[in-house]
Every structure is written in structure tokens, then in C-alpha cells.
Chain A
Amino acid sequence: MTLFELFQYVIIALYLAGTVCFFIGSLKNNKSLGKLGNLVAVCGFALHTLDLLLAVTMYRGTVLSGGYFYFSLLGWSFILVYFGLWWKLRSTFFALTASPLALLLFLVSLASQSLKVTLPAHLSGLFIGLHIGTIFVSIALMAMAAGAGVAFIYLNNKIKTKANLTGIEKEMPSLNTFDNVNHWSIIIGFPLYTLSLASGFLWARAAFSKMFSWDPKEIVTLVVWFLFAFLFHQRIMVGWRGKKPAILVIIVFAITMFSLWGINFFVPTHHSFKV
């Protein structure tokens, strides 16, 4: 077993343990389990960071064209964004979205060691950080907002229909907290998303000498950008709150997921993961 493999098993074990802690902690309304989950997740995250750094430094040449690296990085971004939210809101509730997704992505990354991505050679070092880093953090933010959106709609419905709140519903964060997650995810996520798109197009111009090549991924991403921009505008300028932005962000996240799993794997595109 190489050092890498050992690392990966420990990371999986930690993320799994963290996820279990978060879920049982929420169901049983046990705060100390939530804290334990945080602790375990911090350890997993630290190892994961180390793992990514080692991969980048040791396999400089090949790592960026390995599909697994991107999944791993996306999973890492989820945990990063979760910690950001935790720092802001002190609620472990959002780990219920972040930690299983991070675990899933990390597992996918291990299963997809053989996937290859084609990287245009020009300026790849400069743009890859900008393009990939920003998009992943913004996807992670979207995911949190979508998770918060589902919770918002559920709880909002309960309160509007005057149902008795029982068990986990009693312990859920307030509607306002969910709406805050939506707010911050959009405020931070949209500029990042825009930055990612802009850097992508610039990179495309440098690499393929045309900005837009009617690539399916590009089209879907542009659609998402328009929806995201609309959401950003409604939220900031019109002052949308609550249910409407919650629904819209869920749609945006769903399309993004479709684009990630559907298009990257099955549709010919220059974002493709080739097996």
C-alpha cells in the first residue's frame, strides 16, 4: 500500500465517521455528536488538503489531466464551504449536505483514477487555478444554498400550515438562517461563477483562439449563469427573500449537477472525462 492509498482510506474513514456523527447527531438532537462530527471532519479535511498538495507537487505533470483530481478537489471545496458557513452561523445542520456530498465525490474520485481530461497546453498553469478553483467553490456554495433551500421550503410549509413541530424540526435552524445561507451563497457564489466563466473564455481564446465554440458544456453553463445572474439581481436589487430564491437556487444547482454528471461523462465536449 502506498502512502497515497493509506491517506485515501483514512480520509474516507474520517469523512464517513463525520457524516454518521452529523446525521445521528441531528436525528437524536445531540449537540456533542455534532461537535465530534466537526472534529472528525476537520481531521479529514486536513488530511485531504495534504493529499491534494502532495498530488500536485509529486505528480506535477500528470495530476492536472487526471479526472480524479477534480472530483477530489470539488469534494474538498464542499467541506471548505461548510466550515465557512459553520464559522458564520455556528450550525452543523449544513454538514448534512456538505459531508455526504464530499464523501461521495471523494469516492468517485477514487473510482475514476483512469479518467483523463484533455487540457489545452497554453497558459494552463495560470488559468487552471482561476477557472477550476472559482467554479468549484461556487458549486459548493450552490449546493449549500440548495440544501438550505430544501430545508427552508419544508420548514416554511410546516409553519404556514401550522403543523406541530416535532423532533428534528424543533432543532432545525430558523428560516432566517436558511435564508441567510441563500443570501451569502449568492453574494459570494455569483461573482466567483462569473470569474470562472470569464477566465474560461479567456483561456479558450488563448488555447483554441475562439471564445465560444458552442460546446454543450459551455451552453449549459451560460444558461446557468443567466439564471444565477437573475437570482443575484432579484436578491440584491429587488430584495427577494425566502421561498422564491430558495426554489430558484435549487433549480440552478440541479442544472449544474446535470451538467457535471451528464455532460462531462456522456456528451462530447472539451470538458469531457474520457475513460
Chain B
Amino acid sequence: MDHNIYLIGLNHRSAGVDVRERYALTNIEEFESGLLELGVREVMALSTCNRVEILIVCAPEITQTNILEYWAKRCCGSVTELEPNTYCHDGLNAVKHLFRVACSLDSMIVGEPQILGQLKDSYRKAVEAGAARVIINRMLHKSFFVAKRVRTETSIASSAVSISYAAVELAKKIFGELEGQRAMLIGAGEMAELAATHLLNSGVEQISIANRTYSRAEDLAKCMGGKAVAFENLYDHLVETDIIISSTGAPHAVISAKEMRKVIKKRKYRPMFFIDIAVPRDIDPDVNGLDNVYLYDIDDLKDVVEENKSQREDEAVKANSIVEFETLSFGNWINSLDLQPTIVDLFNRSEHVAQQELAKTLKRLGDVDAKTHKALETMAMSIGKKLLHEPVAFLKRRTAEEGKADKFVDLARRMFNLDNETIPADAHCGRKKNRNLED
């Protein structure tokens, strides 16, 4: 193989939020076209709040360090800062990672559906910019297929998989639909962000963020599409807030039952739901004693989640084995992009068809002597070979001229269906619309 596949990126596990913010990609199109100028063959970049993934197909001359340098330069950072926070997968590991991302197995909230949409968006942009070609096209299509398989064959997307899921379920039990409800984060941390994302996904109307450091609140608000709130006016804002997720590092209670009594009266007793995931706790436990106020702390939610834990593990195992299987099958396809195996496959296919037809004809003819048998067989085989002569010559010529002919080899494999794929009826929906882009 004369090309390398790299997936370089960072996510919520490899990098802290400040690094994620600094190295997020703001202009994906420019980023991709810059990489193409650098000499990579194909590229697709994905950048969200929680992750950056850069998928690259390039000649062996280009190394991971080149890519990291380019990335750091574009974000006005340095490789020494960026490198320890990133991961780099190559070959099939890159493919596997991409599949895991698409299936949301790599997400903060395992099974959350948003990432697939974001991936599709990025792919569309890469196609529009002409940055995605044979391999990335195939890889992304395959990843959407894998994601669909995981979603239908496992219940990873539907089971209660995390504390924030449990929190959202409880909120629904209290408020019914979450549309129109307002949520607030007090303090910021990984867990709180996670729960907030989940709330937003479930339709919460607005999210506000209160933090002792106002600028940090503003940063987070920008990232989540919410609004920052001054910590001093906390109680005033509580009057307008229905769901509160608290996770400050304060050593004592931030919200007292006495003040809450006033707040709830001002709210005309509309219900409130507090989720306190801080240790030590931020919210006075007596708050739970007030009518129409519900307080859950981290331990209460853990209990709720516990019962689903074993089920979740089973589902994750199932999903991972689907990903493994599909990664291997993708590997087979990549290898077949070399010319030689494709020629072998083509001749095998023609021989197979010839043998089948020969068997049918012999059956119809009844008893024939050995000579006729031999003549028929020779004829069937040579028709197959003669037919393939020109296409194979074409593929060889192209390979000799351009050094490689991925595109045509792939085309030949698809035309003759050498990978024995079943093609779904809706496979080409929307192709007309995107035709100009794909060419």
C-alpha cells in the first residue's frame, strides 16, 4: 500500500477543556484546503465542543508530526503543548476509532445521537471542498452504516447509561416534557457539562452558567450556546430556573434552604429540580423538604443508575464486536485496492460465471463426449477472459501512468460487485443532488 491512513485528534479524555477550546478548528474548509496544499491526498476534519478529529489519507512522505505542526500553527499554539493532549491512530486503528466515534461509543454520553449528525455535517463539507475522495468516502459511508447497525442491533442508545441520563429521566418525571424549561449550571466541570448537554438534547429551552470566575462562565456559555450569569445574582436567577446542576468546588453549601424558601415563593411554587454532583455537597439537603423542590445528589443518582449498569456493559460489548467486525471488513477492502488482487478477483469471477453457465448447458445437452465437453469449456472460459482483457489493460495502463488508480480499481470492484455487497434500495437517494459535488 502506498498510502497511509491517519486519524489524529483530541477528545474529552485526552485533553482538558482549555486545550480543547484552544485547538478547536474554526474554519474547517480552510483547514482542509491547507492540508491538501501540504500534499495529503484526502482529508476530513471534525470539530465539536468535546473533540477534534482529523482524518487523513496521505503518501508515506507525510508524517504525523507534519500534521501536528500544521494544526498547532493554525491555532496559534505549539506542538509541544498540543502533542501530549492528542492521540494518533494509523491504518485500521484509525478506521476503528472513526467507527467508534460514529457509533457514539467514544462519546462522553455513550450512545448520544448528536455526534453522528456532526460527523455527517463534516463529511458533507469535506465532499463539497473536494477533500474527501475514494478512501474517505468509503470509510465515512461505512461508518454511517456501522452506526446504524449498532443503533438497531444494540440498545446502547436507549438504555439509561449515565448519571446524566438518569437525571434527565427524573426531570421528565417531574416536568413532563422538558421543552420550555430553563436549566442552570452552577460551577463547571466535566460531569456538569455532560448533564447539561444531555438536557439540551432533550429539549431544554435555555441554559445559563454561573461560575465564581465570570470569564470562565462566559467561555462555557459560548461553547454550549447558553448565557453567563454573575455568581452574586444567583438567587435572582434561580427564580427563573427550573433545573439546576451544581458542581462547584466550594467547601460549604452554596444554596441554603432558608433562601430557597423565598425563591420558591417568588416562583409561585413552580417545581424545581436540583442535581448536586459536587463533593462536598453544594446544596443544603433540607431543600428537599420544601414542597415542589426535588434534590438529588450524586449518591442518589448512582443508585438509580446502578441497576442499568450490567445491561450497559453487555450492550457495549456487543457494539464493540460489531465495530471490530466492520473494521476487518473495511481492511479487506483497503487491501483489495491494489491492482493485483482485483485482477485475480475479476478472473475468478469470470471463471465462476463460466463454470455455472457450462454446467447449465451440459445438463440441457444430456450425454456428450469428452471432446465436445472440453471444447465447450474452453469456449466459455475464453469468452470470459476476452471480455476482461480490455478493462484489465485499462486498469494497468492507468496504474502505470498515475502511479496508482484507486478510483478506477474501486469502480471496477463496484461494477462487478467483487465484494458481494448487498445494496440497499435507498442507497442512491439524494445522489442526483450531490452529483456535481461527488465527481
Contacts and interface: CB of A to CB of B under 8 A. Distances in A.
Contacts of B303: 162, 164
A9 to B, nearest CB: 40
Interface string A71-92: 0000000000000000000000
A162 B276 CA distance: 14
B189 interface: no
Contacts of A241: 268-271, 291-292
Interface stretch (B45-53, B173-181, B335-343, B415-423): B173-181
A243 B174 contact: no
B176 A244 contact: no
A174 B174 CA distance: 5
A159 interface: yes
B294 interface: yes
Interface residues of A, number: 19
Nearest to A158: B173
Contact of B176 (A159, A174, A238): A174
Given A159-B170, A162-B296, A242-B269, A173 B291 contact: no
Contacts of B307: 164
Interface string A228-259: 00000000001111111000000000000000
B300 interface: yes
A160 B172 contact: no
B271 A242 contact: yes
Interface in B285-300: 288, 291-292, 294, 296, 300
A160 B307 CA distance: 19
Contacts of A162: 296, 300, 303-304
A164 B271 contact: no
Contacts of A176: 174-176, 271
A177 interface: yes
Nearest to A243: B291
A168 interface: no
Nearest to A179: B271
> Interface size bucket, B side?
10 to 19
A167 to B, nearest CB: 13
A155 interface: yes
Given A160-B288, A162-B296, A164-B303, A175 B269 contact: no
A40 B40 CA distance: 67
A165 interface: yes
A175 to B, nearest CB: 5
Interface string B161-198: 00000000010111110000000000000000000000
Contacts of A164: 303-304, 307
Contacts of B170: 159
Interface string A174-203: 111100000000000000000000000000
Nearest to B289: A160
Contact of A239 (B268, B294, B304): B268
Contacts of B174: 159, 174-176
Nearest to B301: A162
A241 B300 CA distance: 25
A239 B269 contact: yes
A176 B174 CA distance: 6
A155 B173 contact: yes
A168 to B, nearest CB: 13
A159 B174 CA distance: 9
Interface string A117-160: 00000000000000000000000000000000000000100011
A160 B294 contact: yes
B291 A242 contact: yes
Contacts of A175: 173-175, 271
A240 B264 CA distance: 11
A155 B175 CA distance: 13
Contacts of B268: 238-239, 241
A239 B269 CA distance: 6
Given A159-B294, A160-B288, A160-B294, A165 B269 contact: no
B242 to A, nearest CB: 10
Contacts of A243: 291-292
Contacts of A174: 172-176
A177 B270 CA distance: 13
A20 B397 CA distance: 76
5 contacts: A162-B303, A164-B304, A165-B173, A242-B271, A243-B291
Q: Ordered nearest first, which 7 A-B pairs have the shortest CB separation?
A: A239-B268, A174-B176, A241-B269, A176-B176, A242-B292, A162-B300, A176-B175
Given A176-B271, A241-B270, 19 more contacts: A159-B170, A159-B294, A160-B294, A162-B300, A162-B303, A164-B303, A164-B304, A172-B173, A174-B174, A174-B176, A175-B271, A176-B174, A176-B175, A176-B176, A241-B271, A241-B291, A242-B292, A243-B291, A243-B292
Interface of B: 170, 172-176, 268-271, 288, 291-292, 294, 296, 300, 303-304, 307
